Amino acid sequence: MFATYLGRELGKRRRQTAIIAIGLALAVALVMIVSAIAAGVRDAQTKALEAVYGVGTDITVTQAAAAPTDGDGGPRMQFDFGADAGTSADGSREIATTRLTPAIGSTAFDADAIRTAAGVDGVAAAAGGLTLQNLSFSGQLPDIQQRPEGGEQGFAPGQGPGFDVGGGADGSGGSSFGIESFTVGGVDVAQPTVGPLASTTVTDGRALEASDAGAEVAVVDADYATTADLAVGDTIEVGGTPLTIVGIAASTSTSGAGADAYIPLDTAQALAGLDDQVTTVYVQASSASLIDAIATGLKAALPDATVNTQAELASTVSGSLASASSLITSLGTWLSAIVLAAAFITAILFTVSGVTRRTREFGTLKAIGWRNSRIVGQVAGESLVTGLIGAVAGVVLGIVGIVVVNAISPTIAVGGQAAVGQQGQGGFPGGGGGGFPGGGGFPGGGSFAAASSSDVVLSASITPTVVLVAVGLALLGAVLAGVFGGWRAASLRPAAALRTVE
Amino acid sequence: MYELSGVTKTYRKGSSRVTAVAGIDLTIPDGQLVAIQGPTGGGKSTLLQLLGALERPDSGAVRLAGDDLAKASDGRLGRVRAETIGFVFQGFNLIPTLTARENVETALVPLGVPTQERRSRAEAALAQVGLADRAEHHPSELSGGQQQRVAIARALVKEPSVLLADEPTGNLDEGTRDEIIGLLEGLWRERGLTVVIVTHDSAVAARAERRLTLKDGRVSG
């Protein structure tokens, strides 16, 4: 009788059943789609962060560059040539020189910081790194001695193999020179899992090993190797010293963070004349939960240092993804809540209204001996079945919506600075007497830093949990409606119910 | 047997109170066919609801087979209605979505009668009121007289000892009225039921063993 009665009543009030079910279905679908998109954004965020993080590195320690002194004009690249430098030929001189210095924005500091960092509670490993810029200048210069006084000659740096500068005392001379620049990462070969090498994969040759300490060997970034036409077995000149390339490594980071060449830390220190100096200390925490505590400990132990945790990095790296996630979470949650509330209220009002219209019917049933609980059960059962119809329709609608979202494949630009340390600082500032005048400058950053931007395709995923939660919400709405409707039915006195005129 | 003593029932109507039943003392022996007449608002339907355990009096006692319905719990009143009393209403009060048979079966649901037995008893009750061939029809497919027959079958299928009818012929034409009152009278004689009929219709009241008049909440006759 219960099922027959229930089925007939729902069949009779198809429109009411449909309205309640559609309301609940829309709410279920919306909750599913919003949850799936939010999960997709979180996945994208995680992927983006995985690519940017140095695997195994939880915290980086760097040191801010000292403020420039008056007249210094900040860090700048300067080549000094003696009066007799180069070889003369026809009144001009062939010169070639290389500078290996801390990358702009990086500051070398005492490697004691590694030991200090390693001594902080909770630190599992600490490794030093030296981020260097190798700048080579080679070419032909006019006979400077024949130039008139006061004619400062300026030119912007370029990346081409060379460019001519008209000039010379009588205007007949000329010069041609080239500037080559690449970044060099001095890494602790004893701890390959901590630091920038951890986010690389060797594609040819081998990785740097502990036995490479002090050796004149290098692993070259795959992209740079292609650009500079380098292969395993070739040499790469770093600070004027040719190093044998033992491996080619591809960065697993999409951020572009990394160096063009990796060499043993002690070799880098020797070549740059920065004995026992580093520009970055990479710290691995023994537990993720200790990261904040370790960062605090590091700040206390190294008061002059800049300490960056992954969380801080994440907030920077996530950029638009974080914004998108936040937007979807807040907007989606509110939208879902509003639709859910509307669906619940609709279900409750329609159910109560339906019960009110059936006052005489329930009064009759009470008169012939039906208990309140049976009548409430009947109303709740009808409501629950309506909720189930809404839930099933909602799940189907939600899946369709998610499929549509995935078919559209919206992309989110992962903006922000994938930089650890002095983000976006550096670059050659230009200006300053005698250097490269003009406002140019190499874009640069701190230690293994790079501005990054990549698109992440948003993939909304359906999880059983989301489906269950959505179905649960629909049933909750139905139960709420059933409870209100049932309460209304149960509160009817049979005599009063019988007096009601239909 | 019904024994009513000092039964009073008042209702709130707006800001005033209306006394529907005012201190009635009444005894109805088992197996009696009683007709209650009286002007509209005289308290007839209220008295029927008190007899039918649908209402409790404000004061006094309504004893049915020695059981005081005035002091019984809601559950007890429900059981009395389910087991002992059958109702027939002026408006038939059938559930429109259920067939004639299913409507009759609803009276057996609170008794926990198994499905098959429920079905066969409902069909037998419908046959008794001459509607065996209309068992699977919905109320909307039946005439007023047929609907009232279904309602009578629903009231009698549980084999109650009391049948209470509130204007059972009020919505019927004259021919159908005679048909229905004849049916009720036949069932009363056949089953030895206590039947109380509230009616405005003197032709119906004339068939009763005993006629009572209710006016201003008081019984006479």
pLDDT tens digit sequence for B12-49: 878 888 888 889 999 999 999 999 998 888 888 889 99
Query: Could you tell me the two tokens for A189?
Result: 């070969």
pLDDT at B104: 96
User: E-strand spans in A82-234?
Assistant: 87-89, 92-102, 109-110, 123-141, 163-167, 173-187, 200-205, 217-221
Tell me if A369 and B82 make a contact (CB, 8 A cut-off): yes
Q: Between B81, B96, B106, which is nearest A1 by CB?
A: B106
User: From residue B45, how far is each of B112, B184, B193 by CA, in Å?
Assistant: 29, 19, 20
Tell me if B105 and A1 make a contact (CB, 8 A cut-off): yes
Q: Which chain B residues have a beta carbon less than 8 Å from that of A374?
A: 109-110
Tell me if A371 and B93 make a contact (CB, 8 A cut-off): no
pLDDT at A153: 46
Residue B6: pLDDT band with limits 50, 70, 90: very high
pLDDT at A457: 67
Taking the CA of residue B103 and the nearest CA in chain A, the distance in Å comes to: 10
- Asked whether residue A282 carries a pLDDT value surpassing 80, the answer given is yes
Tell me if A502 and B107 make a contact (CB, 8 A cut-off): no
Whether residue B91 lies within 8 A of chain A, CB to CB, comes out as: yes
Q: Choose the mutation target among B109, B111, B161 for the interface with A, i.e. most A CBs under 10 Å.
A: B109
Range A147-164 average pLDDT:
44
What is the span of the domain harbouring residue B117? 97-159
CB neighbours (10 Å) of residue A457?
12
How are beta strands A217-221 and A241-251 bridged, if at all? parallel
Helices (H), A125-275: 222-228, 265-272
Tell me if B78 and A360 make a contact (CB, 8 A cut-off): no
Q: Which chain A residues have a beta carbon less than 8 Å from that of B110?
A: 368-371, 374
Q: Alpha-carbon Rg of chain A, whole angstroms? A: 35
Single-letter code of the amino acid located at A203: T
Taking the CA of residue A458 and the nearest CA in chain B, the distance in Å comes to: 50
Tell me if A498 and B102 make a contact (CB, 8 A cut-off): no
Q: Which is more confident, A223 or A54?
A: A223
Tell me if A367 and B52 make a contact (CB, 8 A cut-off): yes
Q: Between A368, A498, A499, which is nearest B82 by CB?
A: A368
Report pLDDT digits (tens) over B156-167: 999 999 999 998
What average pLDDT does chain A have? 74
User: What is the residue whose two structure tokens read 């609608």?
Assistant: A397
Measured CA to CA, the distance from residue A204 to residue B127 in angstroms comes to 95
B51 within domain boundaries = no
SS3 percent helix, strand, coil of chain B, rounded to 5, is 35, 30, 35
Angle at B27 between CA B22 and CA B33, to 5 degrees: 110
B174 within domain boundaries = no
Q: Which chain B residues have a beta carbon less than 8 Å from that of A371?
A: 75, 78, 110
Q: Which chain A residues have a beta carbon less than 8 Å from that of B96?
A: 12
B142 within domain boundaries = yes
B204 within domain boundaries = no
User: From residue B126, how far is each of A66, A136, B134, B135 by CA, in Å?
Assistant: 104, 109, 8, 7
Residue A491: pLDDT band with limits 50, 70, 90: confident
Taking the CA of residue B88 and the nearest CA in chain A, the distance in Å comes to: 10
Cβ atoms A79, A249 nearer than 8 A: no
pLDDT at B26: 92
Which range, of A176-185, A355-364, A444-453, B104-113, averages the lowest pLDDT? A444-453
In chain B the first and final C-alpha atoms are separated, in Å, by 18
Residue of chain B nearest A366, judged by CA positions: B78
Looking at this predicted complex, what is its ipTM? 0.92
3-state secondary structure B42-59: CCHHHHHHHHCCCCCCCE
Query: Could you tell me the two tokens for A12?
Result: 């009779």
B147 within domain boundaries = yes
Q: Which is more confident, A321 or A32?
A: A32
User: E-strand spans in A303-376?
Assistant: 305-309
Whether residue B58 lies within 8 A of chain A, CB to CB, comes out as: no
User: What is the residue whose two structure tokens read 């050796």?
Assistant: A215
Cβ atoms A497, B93 nearer than 8 A: no
Cβ atoms A218, A185 nearer than 8 A: no
pLDDT at A51: 52
Residue B197: pLDDT band with limits 50, 70, 90: very high
Range A46-64 average pLDDT:
65
Which range, of A152-161, A176-185, A358-367, averages the lowest pLDDT? A152-161
B132 within domain boundaries = yes
pLDDT at A443: 36
Longest dimension (CA), chain B: 52
Cβ atoms A278, A115 nearer than 8 A: no
Cβ atoms A228, A25 nearer than 8 A: no
pLDDT at A322: 59
B42 within domain boundaries = no
pLDDT at A499: 65
Count of structural domains, chain B: 1
C-alpha closest to that of A131 among A15, A23, A272, A255: A272
| Percentage of residues of chain A with pLDDT beyond 90 | 4
Measured CA to CA, the distance from residue A270 to residue A213 in angstroms comes to 11
B170 within domain boundaries = no
C-alpha closest to that of A118 among A265, A274, A282: A282
pLDDT at A324: 61
Report pLDDT digits (tens) over B72-99: 998 899 999 999 999 998 888 999 999 9
Q: Which chain A residues have a beta carbon less than 8 Å from that of B72?
A: none
